[in-house]
Amino acid sequence: MRIVTAYAYDTAIANLQKRQQDLSETQTQLTSGKRVNRASDDPTAAARAERALASIARADANKRALDASANVMGIAESALGDSVDLLQSAREALVAAGNGSYSDGERKALAIKLREIRNQLLNVANRPDGGGGYVFGGQGASLPPFIDSTSGVTFQAQSGELLASSSEKLNLTVDGGQIFLKSKTGNGVFVTEPKAGSNSGKSWITAGNVTDPSQLPYPSGGGTSATYELRFAGSGTSRTYDIVDTSTTPETPLVTGQAFNSGKAIQVPGKGMTVTVSGEPANGDIFTIGESTNSQNVFKTLDDTIAALSQDNLQGPAAQQIVNTSMTSIDSALNNFLGARAAAGESLNRMEGIESRISSLKLAAQQEKSTAEDLDLTDAISKFQGQQTGYEAALQSYAAVQKLSLFNYING
């Protein structure tokens, strides 16, 4: 077999270059700590690492959304707590206003206190979120969502909630209109009130109670809502009342000519409801009973109460009716606030679980990325040392062999 000297030299040089390239690649891996520095190093591992990197990016984005939502819900929970405290103060003022010995001046002083509470509540409703928006801004608002005008407080934002872009339901706002302007009217099931323009103001009616839920005509289910009137006749010991269903044509009497006793519960026959009228209803006085709706505006409730307590020559029975009606409305608003606060607290609790899941997913993705591309340093160092030794041996052997030509022998 004939070996050409030039071919042997070329083969040796090519082998040296290959060993040098392998040594350089191993050195690069040791320097970076990565087994895969380019997709060509290991296409399959590079694809796994890229997918893991995308998962890490999603986890980071979800964590940022979670942090933003947690900030908003924390502010909302605190704001609703402030709202509850303010309404509790308003309720205490109303209890005092019901004192029959109070003068007009004392009730007007309470009205001034209620006005201050109302203004503070408006500030709470317009509380900013610290990021240029408003906590109770519905689907987003760059201006305060609640506007105070001569006609009262209105909600100028779009109803609903603004959600973060995330696989989980994360609120960036709360529907303030639902919380502040849409509490249940009356006792939450039905509403009692004096019929406008028909009463003398010497008696008052309570919010009423449910005695048998199975007999209730409410909720009406979208049909015609039943309405009733409690009508008084006579005077003194001969004072009587009738209860009439006014939602039918003709009207349907439910009970007639019943003797009236102040402060004694009055049963609405077959309807599972009782109400109590106190004081001295005059002949022709009428109280109405209707279905509760989600339409109570807490600011309007306070405005109406303030206006009523600011009247001159306010008599005891009229003041008591104002107090009863206002306290029922404020209690309903309190329940609405407490429910919203509980929901905000539950959201914060749920976020702890979401944060844990996000952290677990991110850790799994990081481990997958590390498995796909990270270098086994012990193995790499051993490999580098072996390649280095082999490269040095190849250099030495080439240096010795390249002198073994015929021309070197003749010249020597």
Percent of the chain predicted with pLDDT > 70 = 85
CA nearest to 287, candidates 184, 211, 187, 207: 207
Q: What is the DSSP string of 44-64?
A: HHHHHHHHHHHHHHHHHHHHH
Lowest mean pLDDT, pick from 170-174, 245-249, 303-307: 170-174
In the numeric block, the tokens 């002083």 are attached to 109
Look at residue 400 in the predicted model and tell me its pLDDT: 64
pLDDT at 123 over 60: yes
Work out whether the CA dihedral 323, 324, 327, 329 comes out positive or negative: negative
Is residue 199 within 8 A of residue 318, CB to CB? The reply is no
**pLDDT surpasses 60 at 2:** no
Residue burial 308-317, b: 16+ Cβ < 10 Å; e: rest = bbbeeebebb
Note if the bond before 281 is cis, omega within 30 degrees. Answer: no
DSSP codes joined into one string, 108-177: HHHHHHHHHHHHHHHHHHT-B-SSSSBTTBTT--SS-SEEEETTEEEE-S-SS--B-SSSS--BSS-BHH
Comparing 174-183, 222-231, 402-411, which segment has the lowest mean pLDDT? Answer: 402-411
Please tell me what DSSP assigns to residue 9. Answer: H
Question: What is the band of 410 on the pLDDT scale with cuts at 50, 70, 90?
Answer: low
Per-residue pLDDT at 4: 58
Task: Report whether pLDDT(412) > 60.
Answer: no
Contact 110, 98 (CB under 8 A): no
Q: What mean pLDDT is reported for the chain?
A: 86
User: pLDDT tier at 307 (50, 70, 90 boundaries)?
Assistant: very high
Considering the four listed CATH numbers 3.40.605.10, 1.10.760.10, 1.20.1330.10, 3.20.130.10, the one that applies to the domain covering 47-185+297-374 is 1.20.1330.10
Stretch 185-208: mean pLDDT, rounded? 90
Q: Across 144-153, 198-207, 387-396, which has the greatest mean pLDDT?
A: 144-153
The better pLDDT of the pair 129, 370 is held by 129
What pLDDT is recorded for position 374? 64
| pLDDT value of position 302 | 95
Q: What pLDDT was estimated at residue 411? A: 62
pTM: 0.78
Q: Where are the domains positioned within the chain?
A: 47-185+297-374, 196-292
Query: 23 falls in which pLDDT band (50, 70, 90)?
Result: low
| Residue-wise pLDDT tens digits, 322-348 | 889 999 999 999 999 999 999 999 999
Query: Exposure string (b/e) for 266-276, b if CB count within 10 Å is 16 or more?
Result: bbbeebbbbbb
Alpha-carbon distances of 99 from 92, 193, 208, 251, 326, rounded to whole Å = 12, 20, 21, 39, 15
Judge contact between 117 and 309, C-beta under 8 A.
no
Q: What is the pLDDT of residue 194?
A: 93
- 78-95 pLDDT per residue, tens: 999 999 999 999 999 998
Which amino acid makes up residue 192? T
- pLDDT band with cut points at 50, 70 and 90 for residue 117: very high
Q: Which comes out higher in pLDDT, residue 14 or 206? A: 206
- Render pLDDT for 34-60 as a digit per residue (tens, 0 to 9): 766 666 667 887 788 788 888 888 888
pLDDT band per the 50, 70, 90 thresholds, residue 158: confident
Average pLDDT (4-32) is 69
Backbone phi, psi, residue 10, to 5°: -60, -40
Question: Which one has a higher pLDDT value, 32 or 121?
Answer: 121
Q: Residue 294: what pLDDT?
A: 92
For residue 1, pLDDT beyond 60:
no
Mean pLDDT to the nearest integer, 214-224: 86
> Is it the case that residue 182 has pLDDT exceeding 80?
yes
Is residue 141 a contact partner of residue 156, using CB atoms and an 8 Å limit? yes
Cis peptide bond N-terminal to 250, omega within 30: yes
Q: Is the pLDDT of residue 187 over 90?
A: yes
Percent of the chain with pLDDT over 90: 49
Residue-wise pLDDT tens digits, 255-278: 999 999 999 999 999 999 999 999
pLDDT at 401 (0 to 100): 63
- What single-letter amino acid sits at 107? R
